[in-house]
Amino acid sequence: MTSPAARKNKKKASSTFFERATEALATLKETQSEVIQEAAELCAERIANGGLVFLFGNGHSRMMCEEMTPRQGCFPGFVALVELALSNHAAIVGANGLRAPLYLENYEGYAEQILKGFHFGPNDAFIVISTSGIRPVVVEAAMGAQRRGLPVIGIVSRAHCEQAKAAHSSGKKLIDCADLVIDNQCPPGDCVIELEGLEWRTGPISTVTGAVIINMIRCGTAEALEREVVVGFRFRSLPRVGALERFPLNTHPGWADSPLAETR
């Protein structure tokens, strides 16, 4: 049995992961704050003019869409465009396994069929999240949004995207189809921990940096909307003691007065 002293001196992978994730966040703040603020200002301008900001991500990236909305502290204007066929996998193999979504994300033309299900307005915008930034469904979602006149914000790992071979027949990647690119600071492959005896890395950090980016955009957007005194965008946060009793969901303050409460 290892002694307490030996355990104390031994480098632990859990602590190393924390350190690497913290380092990535520090670099994110230093290098990406300006473009994140620019993205927030863009979102605020679009929402203030009655537009919607759509968030698209497949597989694990759908978590970043849901981190924006519906989420505690959210407000009208953001829409999580999450296609369940690409992201609702409950198993590795068998029914609802990974094979079908992995096939669909590489099927050219599929993203356009998703976009055809929406009537986009002139003041809308699009956020596409993908750490690799190379899958055809992601590239085509960004290209399709741009063809419709929507500005596109891409959240991607530049290191991974630039090194990886394009999977779309056009040779394009997400970094080629976004008006603003936010680097999530993930290394190629996402993972930051190497363990002796383990053939692959572990400890992906895209969830950590991605969630911070999403919330920086959210907070920056809220600040800009408040600065412009946009009526109907002030919301109390429901997940707190007594909130649901005081403000039932169908009478939540602000929804009735918001231009986004009506079906477009």
Tens of pLDDT, residues 193-207 = 999 999 999 999 999
Q: What mean pLDDT is predicted for residues 37-42?
A: 98
Between residues 230 and 97, the one the model is more confident about: 97
- Would you state the structure tokens that stand for residue 193, as one six-digit string? 């921990």
Q: Is 249 exposed, middle or buried (0-12, 13-18, 19+ CB in 10 A)?
A: exposed
Q: What is the pLDDT of residue 87?
A: 83
Instruction: Give residue 33's pLDDT band: very low, low, confident or very high (50, 70, 90).
Output: very high
> What average pLDDT does the structure give for the chain?
86
In this prediction, residue 230 carries a pLDDT of 55
> What is the reported pLDDT for 251?
42
What are the structure tokens assigned to 243, written together?
Answer: 């909130």
* Higher per-residue pLDDT: 96 or 233: 96
Torsion sign, CA atoms 243, 256, 123, 105: positive
Q: Which two tokens stand for residue 241?
A: 């003691």
Instruction: With cut-offs at 50, 70 and 90, classify the pLDDT of residue 227.
Output: confident
The pLDDT tens digits for 42-86 are: 999 999 999 999 999 998 899 999 999 988 888 889 999 988 888
Band (pLDDT 50/70/90 cuts) for residue 250 is: very low
Q: Where are the beta strands (DSSP E) in 177-245?
A: 180-183, 191-193, 202-204
Is 90 exceeded by the pLDDT of residue 11? no
Query: What per-residue confidence (pLDDT) applies to 262?
Result: 46
Q: What angle do CA 100, 78, 122 make, to 5 degrees?
A: 100
Predicted confidence at residue 239, as pLDDT, reads 52
Across 223-238, average pLDDT = 65
Average pLDDT over residues 155-181: 97
Range name among 40-44, 96-100, 161-165, 246-250 with the lowest pLDDT average: 246-250
What confidence score (pLDDT) does residue 76 get? 87
